[in-house]
Each structure stands twice: as structure tokens, then as C-alpha cells.
Amino acid sequence: MSEHGSPPDEAYDALERLYDDPDERVADLQELGSEERDVAGQAAVFKALGNEDRLRLLSALRESECCGCELQVVLDAPQSTVATHLRKLKEAGLVKSRKKGKWSYYRIADTAVFELLDLGHAVQEES
């Protein structure tokens, strides 16, 4: 759909050939792509999952909460790199953190992320 809320002419012509009421179909399709489905939020989750280091961090957090220093060991990376990955995971709503003294501890925000990871693994195995 274009920025102005109507489909391009060629798309509308195709809808006219397929449906008795193309205007109703356009309205239905526009509703499917509405903000209600939070496509931007979904994209943020999948973007966060699209990095091997972040997947390694999530795998480590599958077992238990971890201190930031433990996650540095997991990635064999400097604190700044690990912090950047953790920030992206937090922004996507996949990880939560808490402070205890000078240490930060990280945990999975919702175990549903493991279902996504397991599905990704299953799809990869079948291809």
C-alpha cells in the first residue's frame, strides 16, 4: 500500500479482477497491516534475534540468570560489546536486568523466547 492509504494502480486493477468489491478487500487488507498488530515491535524482536552473539547470550540465559561478567566469558568479548548486545535484547523486551551492588544480572523476560529459538532450530534442521 502506498503512503497515502490506497494501493498502487496495478494492485487495484488486480483486485478488481479477483473480487466483486475491491474497495472492501482493500479495507480488509489495510486493517491487517494496521498498528494493532504491532509490526514494528515484532520486527524489533526478530532483529534482536538476528545476531549470533545475541543468540549465544540467550542460550546462556536459558539455564539461569547471569552476571554481566559471566556473559563476557560466554562471548569472549569486552564489556562494551556485551553491554551493546544486552541493550538491544532489553529494548526488544527479551531480557530484563537487575542491579545488586555494582553488578548487573540478566534474565529472560519471557520464556516464550525459547519457543522462538526452538522453532528457529527446527526450521534450520529441516532445510
Rounded distance between C-alpha atoms, residue 109 and residue 15, angstroms: 43
Mapping DSSP to helix (H, G, I), strand (E, B) and coil, where does residue 105 land? strand
The rounded percent of the chain whose pLDDT value lies above 70 is: 80
Q: What is the mean pLDDT of the chain?
A: 85
pLDDT of residue 73: 95
C-alpha R_g of the chain: 21
Residue 121 structural domain = 42-126
pLDDT in tens, 33-79: 665 557 788 888 999 999 999 999 999 999 899 999 999 999 999 99
- Is the same domain home to 114 and 74? yes
- Is the same domain home to 32 and 58? no
Domain tally for the chain?
2
- Is the same domain home to 55 and 82? yes
Rounded distance between C-alpha atoms, residue 15 and residue 52, angstroms: 41
- Is the same domain home to 18 and 61? no
- Is the same domain home to 69 and 89? yes
Torsion of CA 63, 67, 108, 41, to 10 degrees: -140
